Amino acid sequence: MRLRGRKGIREALEAQPELIVLEPAQYKGRWKELFGNDNPIHVELGMGKGRFISQLSSLNPQTNYIGVDMYDELIRRASEKAQASREENGGTLANLKLALFNIEKIEHMFDTNELERVYLNFSDPWPKKRHARRRLTHSGFVRKYIDILNENGEIHFKTDSRSLFEFSLNSFADMGLRMRNIALDLHAEETRTDLVMTEYEMKFHDKGVNIHRVEVVIGDKALQTHLHQLEQAERRETEAAQNDREHDGEADA
Ligand SMILES: C[S@@+](CC[C@H](N)C(=O)[O-])C[C@H]1O[C@@H](n2cnc3c(N)ncnc32)[C@H](O)[C@@H]1O
């Protein structure tokens, strides 16, 4: 992402301490305290201009959100977006923080079990093989996410990059992780308005590029819930098939 240097950005960030966290490692293990409640915490790693995290936090006041990026200018733009989304949709910014941080050191920002969800949206693909370890879905990163996610923990990943998606599915599978809702073309049937689009997603979607998506179930409780839902769905299918057979039998009689 190309960024223009701008004077006074740091001052603009420092002027919004209730929204912008410039030293987020200070809050490791204390994010609940900072939000002032026990609501679950969802984090977008590499939020860019912040459309996704601003909208989501506006739609879900009972969840706390943290958008992380490593560039001052993007944090500033995300703060503007957050203000604008509140003006449009109402609500407060109490459940949103924007943090300036390098994801490579994410274990210094969050403690074990501190988060409920990690969003990775259109992460840099790092296409060269020798850069594979920099991909945010490399096992080295995923191990860190597993540690900071709690019993309900999940990773939600979206990308336009087919090669990064393939790499990521293999990375998750090699780690023995359970995946669900895998989509190779997320908006194939209709635009998924239930899932908030990111800036990059809107751009690629407008160009007709396929968006890939997967949810990775990490926490024990999340896994139990998922398996229970699968069982229920299977039971419903069996019952529906049984009803169909009975119905066909009646029709034949
Ligand atoms: C391709 S953009 C995607 C932005 C946004 N998620 C979207 O979908 O529109 C990737 C973002 O990740 C951020 N990023 C990449 N590596 C990072 C790192 N190590 N630490 C923090 N942010 C990072 C970049 O600054 C950039 O804003």
CATH number at residue 32: 3.40.50.150
Residue 67: alpha-carbon gap to chain centroid? 10
Specify whether 124 is catalytic. Answer: yes
The residue whose C-alpha atom lies closest to atom 13 belonging to ligand 1 is: 46
Establish if 29 belongs to a structural domain: yes
Establish if 176 belongs to a structural domain: yes
Q: Are 204 and 160 in contact (CB under 8 A)?
A: yes
**Domain carrying residue 185:** 9-219
Taking the CA of residue 103 as reference, the ligand 1 atom at the shortest distance is: 20
Establish if 169 belongs to a structural domain: yes
Taking the CA of residue 47 as reference, the ligand 1 atom at the shortest distance is: 6
Domain count, the chain: 1
DSSP assignment of 84-118, as one string? Answer: HHHHHH---STTEEEEE--GGGGGGTS-TT-EEEE
Q: Tell me, using a 6 A CB cutoff, whether residue 131 lines ligand 1.
A: no
What is the band of 251 on the pLDDT scale with cuts at 50, 70, 90?
confident
Establish if 79 belongs to a structural domain: yes
Dump pLDDT digits (tens) for 211-234. Answer: 999 999 999 999 999 999 999 999
Q: Tell me, using a 6 A CB cutoff, whether residue 3 lines ligand 1.
A: no
Establish if 115 belongs to a structural domain: yes
Identified catalytic residue from 38, 72, 111, 124:
124
How far is 49 from 242, CA to CA, in rounded Å? 51
Dump pLDDT digits (tens) for 44-55. Answer: 999 999 999 999
Q: Is residue 2's pLDDT more than 80?
A: no
The residue whose C-alpha atom lies closest to atom 4 belonging to ligand 1 is: 48
Q: Are 214 and 173 in contact (CB under 8 A)?
A: no
Establish if 230 belongs to a structural domain: no
Q: Are 150 and 116 in contact (CB under 8 A)?
A: yes
Establish if 253 belongs to a structural domain: no
How far is 203 from 16, CA to CA, in rounded Å? 29
